[in-house]
Structure 1
Amino acid sequence: MLRGGQTMESAAQGGPRLAPADQALALAIAGETLRRVPLLDRLIDGATRQALPEDSKARMVLRLALAQRVALHVPDHALVATALPLVEGGPRRLVHGVLGTLLRGSLPDADLGALPVEVAERWTKAWGEAAVAAAARAIVRRPPLDLSFKDDAAAKAFAEAEGGVVVAERHVRLADSRAVTGLPGFEAGDWWVQDLSSTLPARMIPADATRVLDACAAPGGKTLQIAAAGHEVTALDRSESRLARLRANLHRIKLGATIVTEDVLAFAPAEPFDAVLLDAPCSATGTFRRHPEVLFRASPRIIAESAELQGRLLEASAAWVRPGGSLVYAVCSLEPEEGEDRIAAFLAARTGFALAEQRRVLPGEREEEGGMDGFFTARLVRQG
């Protein structure tokens, strides 16, 4: 992930086939390491005479071993026994010595978090020190499990039965992660997994909008929301494999949608829609609680390229909105270039649309309830 810019999911799929328990442990170790890279590096650098290269095997093995100790509470003898074979024929002596020094000392608390320096600097400039401090707290805490329901009464009944909390209409939060397939209502299709932040764009669609397009729809949480709210929804995405997951969820949840496999930039609907929701591809830095690797992947170049694509997608989507209709734009990003700046540039360059409302979710919002992913969403209305 750090060298090749892969996501956790793609790296896991491309690795060796492991037994389920070993796969879960490998993902846990990788995830807890990525959540604490700045902290782990400070520990390592404080115990070595000469700084280890950033991408050296010794540094990575030390990160993996220390993350197991700090976050997963693996016994010292076990993590040493698994770390040293990884540097067999290499800097084994160095790794053994550094681990011995650190394990004999006082290691920091597992709840002590820090962001990569460049990310902290970027977000401090954009959002201030309080938001960065909240993000540092959030990155080392596993996020809760959020469920979206078709029906608000079912959501309230589920929360009461399972010890959950209703955090919004038709939305329940469980404090601890669980195997979702074993939860009540899964087979019956009562709910689907969806972070609270990602429900905000669909909530902005006016209730009187009959025909709604969900652009870049897969994997489909927003499509399900729109259909459950009673709209006639068309789900558009160019990835057939990702749309297969949407089809499966529509079948399980017992909801209907028209599915179109097409690139947004090539799409040509026969008639305009009452509302278009564009959940645009982005750097995804707002999802760092679940995917800490995004903070290492989202370079300024990636952010700039994403913003350029978002501008083209906005222009295409705007053409499909009827006069008086709504264009809802969303990104799970904490970068203003992909959110506020993107909308400002669109409105400055294109007449005929007005900003009706916008919502920015920053680290620290509802922190006492488990927090929310970083998010931006805005609703524009086509005039005339």
Structure 2
Amino acid sequence: MAQPTGIHARRAALRLLDAVLRRGETMDIAFAAATKDVRKFEDKALVRAIAGETLRWLTDLDALIDSATKQNLPDDAKPRMVLRLMLAQWLRLDTPPHAVVATGLDLLSGGPRRLAHGVFSTLTKREARLPAVPTLPADVAARWGERGPAIAAGLSTPPALDLTLRDPAETAHWANQLSADSLMPGHLRLPRGANVEKLPGFGEGAWWVQDLAASLPAHLLGPGEGRHALDLCAAPGGKTLQLAAQGWNVTALDISKRRLELLRENLKRTGLKAGIVRADALDWEPKHRFDAILLDAPCTATGTARRHPDVLHRIGARQIEEMAELQAALLERAQGWLKPGGVLVYATCSIEREEGEDQVKAVALEPTPIAASELPQGLAPTDEGSLRTDPGMLADAGGLDGFFVARWRLPG
């Protein structure tokens, strides 16, 4: 008997969901193995969309499932996993219920299949709906406190596609070429779903993909004018490209061979130049001091939940504590590598205070407050002169990732 069209994508989405929720893997790491049987770009995009929407609305999907069963299914029970995918397709991706049933139930057999069919039928007959805003997992809501509702609202839909231009002076030109919006010079925003490599300007290296918030730390170092900058934890390289385009003589350091290969490819495509060093920043010693250091530190990446909703379910107190210890160690080393008068920018794509506001207390440098004039309209520095963004900000313009950014100077 022939399998229904689309079954491979649904099976891949189930594998991806299992990798995240049961094994704690990231969506990005698990994606290649999960989609090994999926060939087309469109089908791979569908896999990511199904799994992503399931993770984004998981708490609310589970509440619907529990409302239609006499006894709650275990969290990792296969019928629950399949029902999550089926409901996400119906309620978030507007897949007709008959198509959801045709492609979803084949993931199960016997009693579990009958159970899933019964639950799904019950919910469709009820015309079940999701709330306007995703419900955060209880531990996440507790961590984010009063900021939680606004952040959750920013997680309601996946983000648009943000690009950073090699030459900000060409913003108007490329906005016209790509029918894009712009929130600041050098930035473009397009609707999500585009095949990036087929967009005008990709082949000639006119731009690279980078969330608006992620572009701000390098922007805050300003023009390089040939001076020396160190990009710590640099790969896959968006900030290295920015610094090189701003005229800095860049040393890009990272420990990951695979991610540094991506950086080399991006440098080649854009025609920009940087020195690449593969090393552990906790062991490495520079041969000279730097005029600027950008430390975009490894973190839990909870600020990227719009595009990586797996962080809502993978990250807890243990991971936050581990990352905070690493960030503190990196900050301590980076401070000693500045020339007198040099500037250090620290950033993390995390919403957790332990990885942002709490880290600045131990920095023995002179704070250099961030000014509102350096930021896109609608963003403002904190009273302490740092920058805190989250997915609930700039909502009318499509939002942005959660970041913390602070800047200091070594007197001299």
TM-score interval w.r.t. the shorter chain? over 0.9
1: CA distance, partners of 2:222 / 2:201: 28
1:331 Cα deviation from its structure 2 partner = 0.2
TM-score normalised by L of structure 2: 0.87
CA RMSD of aligned residues (A): 1.6
CA-to-aligned-CA distance 1:100-156 (integer Å, 9 cap, x gap): 1001112215854222121112111xxx2xx32232222231211111112123121
1:206 Cα deviation from its structure 2 partner = 4.4
Q: Does 1:315 align with 2:336?
A: no
SS at match of 2:358: helix
Correspondence for 2:253: 236
Correspondence for 1:367: 395
Does structure 1 retain, via aligned residues, the 8 Å contact 2:295–2:346? yes
Correspondence for 1:378: 406
Q: Which runs of 5+ in 2 are unaligned?
A: 1-19, 370-385
2: CA distance, partners of 1:75 / 1:365: 33
CA-to-aligned-CA distance 1:326-373 (integer Å, 9 cap, x gap): 1111100000000000111x23xxx4x122122110232111000010
2: CA distance, partners of 1:237 / 1:122: 30
1:12 Cα deviation from its structure 2 partner = 1.5
Count matched residues.
374
CA-to-aligned-CA distance 1:194-242 (integer Å, 9 cap, x gap): 1000011101214357100000000000000000001101100111111
Out of 368, 384, 399, the residue aligned to residue 356 of structure 1 is: 368
Correspondence for 1:59: 80
Out of 321, 334, 346, the residue aligned to residue 351 of structure 2 is: 334
1:356 corresponds to which letter in structure 2? T
Correspondence for 2:382: none
Correspondence for 1:172: 188
1:373 corresponds to which letter in structure 2? D
2: CA distance, partners of 1:359 / 1:22: 38
1:116 corresponds to which letter in structure 2? P
SS at match of 2:211: coil
Q: Does 1:4 align with 2:23?
A: yes
2: CA distance, partners of 1:295 / 1:86: 26
Correspondence for 2:377: none
1:186 Cα deviation from its structure 2 partner = 1.2
Correspondence for 2:379: none
Q: Does 1:14 align with 2:33?
A: yes
> Matches of residues 122-161 of structure 1 in structure 2 within 5 Å?
122-124=143-145, 128=146, 131-161=147-177
2: CA distance, partners of 1:179 / 1:134: 30
Taking a change above 3 Å as real, the CA distance of residues 19 and 161 of structure 1, as seen in their structure-2 partners, is closer
Q: Percent identity?
A: 49
Does structure 2 retain, via aligned residues, the 8 Å contact 1:154–1:190? no
CA-to-aligned-CA distance 1:153-212 (integer Å, 9 cap, x gap): 312111133321221121111234311222221111111111000011101214357100
1:175 corresponds to which letter in structure 2? P
1:82 Cα deviation from its structure 2 partner = 2.4
Does structure 2 retain, via aligned residues, the 8 Å contact 1:205–1:328? yes
TM-score normalised by L of structure 1: 0.93
Does structure 2 retain, via aligned residues, the 8 Å contact 1:110–1:140? no
1:99 corresponds to which letter in structure 2? F
Does structure 2 retain, via aligned residues, the 8 Å contact 1:212–1:274? yes
Out of 249, 267, 277, the residue aligned to residue 266 of structure 2 is: 249
CA-to-aligned-CA distance 1:34-83 (integer Å, 9 cap, x gap): 11101101111111111111221121111111011001112212212222
Taking a change above 3 Å as real, the CA distance of residues 195 and 300 of structure 1, as seen in their structure-2 partners, is same
Correspondence for 1:29: 50
2: CA distance, partners of 1:115 / 1:107: 19
Does structure 1 retain, via aligned residues, the 8 Å contact 2:224–2:249? no
Taking a change above 3 Å as real, the CA distance of residues 91 and 176 of structure 1, as seen in their structure-2 partners, is closer
1:160 corresponds to which letter in structure 2? N
> Matches of residues 94-109 of structure 1 in structure 2 within 5 Å?
94-108=115-129
